[in-house]
Chains A and B, each alone.
Chain A
Amino acid sequence: MMSMVIAQALGPVEQEHLLQARHMQALSFAVHIPLVCFGIAFPVMVLAMEGLGRRTGDPLYTTIARRWSRIMIALFAVGVITGTVLSFEMGVLWPNFTATFGGVFGLGFAIEGFSFFLEAIFIGIYVYGWDRLPPRLHLLSGIPIVLTGFLGSWMVISVNAWMNHPGGFRLDAAGRVVDVHPWRALFANSYLWHEVIHMYVAAYLVTGFVVAGAYAAARLRGRWTRTLLATLGLLVLYLGVRRRRLPSSRMFWVALVAAGPLACVALVAGWVTTEVGRQPWVVFGVMRTEAAVTGAGVVPVGYGVLCVVYLAVAAGTFWILRRLARVPVEVTTA
């Protein structure tokens, strides 16, 4: 393997705020990753509801699908923001990482960008097309959202797998990156598949538990509607409890409420394990994190501003979701 010292493309660097730079990156990921879970799993759930509505003719499912599709686009919008921040940070915080290895892993982000573009288009068609498209076509317009949500996150995970288990290039005698094979680097990597599967299972768990938890909380507060009942019935089935009737014990509902945030904690803890476990390397065994960081002195200020802005975005998101949950959606027959 590669054991020699890497030549940093931009030269050596001194950064006294390395830890803050890592914290800032960690905060940005921790905020983005739960939204990614919704990007992967939620479209499938929305389409399942719409499909059930079409098959059974029960307008309740369609009503749920419509309500969820509004939540889906709101969360997608927040995910676009946090994702844009991440793409800026790749350069602003870790210029020597992108400068040295951009040619090796950049392909993954290029494909991700393309699939993200398609996702944005189809999510718009789907959500704004409820009353404008024939029902069958509307259902079909949701399928690209599922596929692109899958493809985009798969690409990002391929870059992460490469950072954990780098390949597809060689270091020459001077320590420069040569002989680059981006496809091999990203997709002929034995770490890719377990990371992808792990992430997808996690995405479904997080989304399922967060949605179930939100409805369970509403039930505990006594807001007990038919929508709620149908949704919970489906979700609990979805969670693997194969009974027709929902458990009545209060403990079950309290546990379900707790499961949402706990699933998010488990998700973030999993990523902390992956990322901190690789330290002190950014590219395992090849480039240390301290060699990748920016030389600019703006890190602490940037970190502070990001904390404030993300707190505001979190408060805003919570508020929107509460409002969207409260606005009555009339039962439709479409």
Chain B
Amino acid sequence: MTLATVPLVFVLAGLALYIILAGADFGAALWQVSAPPTPEGRRLRDFAHHVMAPVWEANHVWLIFVLTVTWTAYPAAFGSIASTLSVPLLLAALGIVVRGAAYAVSAGTSGVRGTRDVDRVSAIASVLTPFALGACLGGIASGRVPYGNAQGDLLTSWVNPTSLLLGALAVAISAHLAAVYLCDDAARRGADDLIAPYRRRALGAGVVAGALAVGGLVVVRADAAPLYDGLTADGGLAAVVVSGTAGAAALALVARERFAAARRWPSGRSSRAGRSRSRPSSCRG
């Protein structure tokens, strides 16, 4: 490792934390809005809100950390990325604004009608942000962000097979992480009736995320050959193997209702996601 790559380690650590912490929050919003309009559905919604509300604003600190370290250590790369990918970055910011506003509003609406509309809006935002950020990573990883001020295509730099794949994967991982956390929290706080529904959601989203990750390799191979080569050799291959093993282990633990242990496994998995995705940016440097 050279001195020039040291800040990259911090960026990746921050990115992994952001994916794990904020991802779980965005995923929780997804489960809030998709909860059925039944008493059980209401309990699921309220519980997700109750668990996430005290921590959400601390999560975005990691994104700000990633942004500031990147523009301090790699200013030219940051400027190139931010200008070419300005559309998805603005969409991601929009999602964060709406999600945050929904939390702020619900601070004044505890137990009031209208909470459901707030949830609905914040869920749309919660799909938007992880998807847009995943699409940005896809654009960078597939080599669609050239050096310079908005020198890449404003649309195809983030609407392309790799970006769509990583966007969808980011949403699925968020949903899976959130459901695993919520299972564990439901078990800890004695909300036993919520464990089974969250467990179903954790398994479903985990299977979808796994299928996207494995099936996505085909997409990446066709769309971004250098990325595929990086993922199937040496360190990249090791990361893919660790990721697959950790993901399968997490699913097995959730299936056996060992939530606290499962909660640790997807973490390893997400940091893998951060690592493999940002690999090309280290190639660029």
**How long is the Cα–Cα vector from A12 to B187 in the complex, in angstroms?**
58
Is A121's CB under 8 angstroms from B58's CB? yes
User: Out of B68, B90, B148, which one reaches A109, CB within 8 Å?
Assistant: B68
**How long is the Cα–Cα vector from A1 to B74 in the complex, in angstroms?**
27
Interface residues on chain B, number (Cβ under 8 Å)? 49
Closest chain B CB from A162 CB (angstroms)? 14
Is B61's CB under 8 angstroms from A98's CB? no
Given contacts A10-B83, A88-B93, contact A317 B104 (CB under 8 A): yes
User: Out of A102, A295, A298, A324, which one reaches B71, CB within 8 Å?
Assistant: A102
Is A295's CB under 8 angstroms from B107's CB? no
Decide if A200 is an interface residue (CB 8 Å cutoff).
no
Decide if B89 is an interface residue (CB 8 Å cutoff).
yes
**How long is the Cα–Cα vector from A121 to B104 in the complex, in angstroms?**
17
If over half of B's interface residues share one DSSP class (helix, strand or loop), that class is named, otherwise mixed; here it is helix
Decide if A124 is an interface residue (CB 8 Å cutoff).
yes
Is A113's CB under 8 angstroms from B72's CB? no
Decide if B150 is an interface residue (CB 8 Å cutoff).
yes
Closest chain A CB from B204 CB (angstroms)? 31
Segment at the interface with A among B95-103, B171-179, B232-240: B95-103
Given contacts A10-B149, A101-B75, A302-B86, contact A76 B57 (CB under 8 A): yes
Is A91's CB under 8 angstroms from B81's CB? yes
Decide if B87 is an interface residue (CB 8 Å cutoff).
yes
Chain A 85-110 near chain B by CB (<8 Å), digits 1 or 0? 10110111001101111110011011
Is B64's CB under 8 angstroms from A87's CB? yes
Given contacts A323-B108, A323-B109, contact A124 B149 (CB under 8 A): no
In this complex, which of B58, B64, B100 has the most chain A Cβ atoms within 10 angstroms of its Cβ? B64
In this complex, which of A102, A295, A316 has the most chain B Cβ atoms within 10 angstroms of its Cβ? A102
Is B79's CB under 8 angstroms from A96's CB? yes
Closest A residue, CB atoms, query B82? A91
Given contacts A87-B64, A87-B68, A296-B150, contact A313 B101 (CB under 8 A): yes
Chain B 50-82 near chain A by CB (<8 Å), digits 1 or 0? 000011011011011101110111111011111
Decide if A11 is an interface residue (CB 8 Å cutoff).
yes
Decide if A312 is an interface residue (CB 8 Å cutoff).
yes
Is A106's CB under 8 angstroms from B105's CB? no
Chain A 57-70 near chain B by CB (<8 Å), digits 1 or 0? 00000000000001
Is A85's CB under 8 angstroms from B93's CB? yes
Closest B residue, CB atoms, query A305? B94
Is A88's CB under 8 angstroms from B89's CB? yes
Decide if A133 is an interface residue (CB 8 Å cutoff).
no
Decide if B84 is an interface residue (CB 8 Å cutoff).
yes
In this complex, which of A296, A319, A321 has the most chain B Cβ atoms within 10 angstroms of its Cβ? A296
List the A side residues contacting B96 at CB < 8 Å.
Answer: 81, 84-85
Decide if A271 is an interface residue (CB 8 Å cutoff).
no
**How long is the Cα–Cα vector from A328 to B74 in the complex, in angstroms?**
51
User: Out of B83, B101, B109, B151, which one reaches A312, CB within 8 Å?
Assistant: B101
User: Out of B60, B68, B109, which one reaches A110, CB within 8 Å?
Assistant: B68
Given contacts A309-B97, A316-B105, contact A102 B78 (CB under 8 A): yes
List the A side residues contacting B104 at CB < 8 Å.
Answer: 74, 77-78, 81, 316-317, 320
Decide if A13 is an interface residue (CB 8 Å cutoff).
yes
Closest A residue, CB atoms, query B57? A80
Is B150's CB under 8 angstroms from A102's CB? no
Given contacts A9-B75, A120-B61, A121-B58, contact A77 B103 (CB under 8 A): yes
Chain A 34-62 near chain B by CB (<8 Å), digits 1 or 0? 00000000000000000000000000000
List the B side residues contacting A295 at CB < 8 Å.
Answer: 83, 148-151
List the B side residues contacting A96 at CB < 8 Å.
Answer: 79, 149
Given contacts A84-B97, A98-B75, A99-B79, contact A13 B149 (CB under 8 A): yes
Closest chain B CB from A217 CB (angstroms)? 18
Given contacts A84-B64, A84-B97, A309-B98, contact A98 B71 (CB under 8 A): yes
Is A110's CB under 8 angstroms from B69's CB? yes
List the A side residues contacting B151 at CB < 8 Å.
Answer: 295
**How long is the Cα–Cα vector from A121 to B83 in the complex, in angstroms?**
32
Given contacts A80-B57, A109-B68, contact A298 B154 (CB under 8 A): yes
Decide if A297 is an interface residue (CB 8 Å cutoff).
yes
Is A70's CB under 8 angstroms from B107's CB? yes
List the B side residues contacting A309 at CB < 8 Å.
Answer: 94, 97-98
Is A74's CB under 8 angstroms from B82's CB? no
Decide if A128 is an interface residue (CB 8 Å cutoff).
yes
- Residues from 91 to 147 in A contacting B, C-beta threshold 8 Å: 91-92, 95-96, 98-103, 106-107, 109-110, 112-114, 116-117, 120-121, 124, 128
Is B64's CB under 8 angstroms from A83's CB? yes
Is A106's CB under 8 angstroms from B107's CB? no
Decide if A294 is an interface residue (CB 8 Å cutoff).
yes
Is A296's CB under 8 angstroms from B83's CB? yes
List the A side residues contacting B109 at CB < 8 Å.
Answer: 320, 323
**How long is the Cα–Cα vector from A81 to B94 in the complex, in angstroms?**
9
User: Out of A81, A294, A296, A321, which one reaches B97, CB within 8 Å?
Assistant: A81
User: Out of B78, B100, B101, B154, which one reaches A91, CB within 8 Å?
Assistant: B78
Is B100's CB under 8 angstroms from A99's CB? no
Given contacts A124-B55, A295-B83, A302-B86, contact A84 B101 (CB under 8 A): no
Closest chain B CB from A105 CB (angstroms)? 8
Report 20 cross-chain contacts, Cβ distance below 8 Å, ordered by A residue. Answer: A11-B148, A76-B57, A78-B100, A78-B101, A80-B60, A84-B63, A84-B93, A88-B93, A90-B67, A90-B71, A92-B82, A106-B72, A106-B75, A113-B64, A128-B54, A295-B151, A296-B150, A309-B94, A313-B101, A321-B108
Q: Which 6 A-B pairs have the closest CB atoms?
A: A106-B72, A99-B79, A91-B82, A102-B75, A95-B79, A320-B108
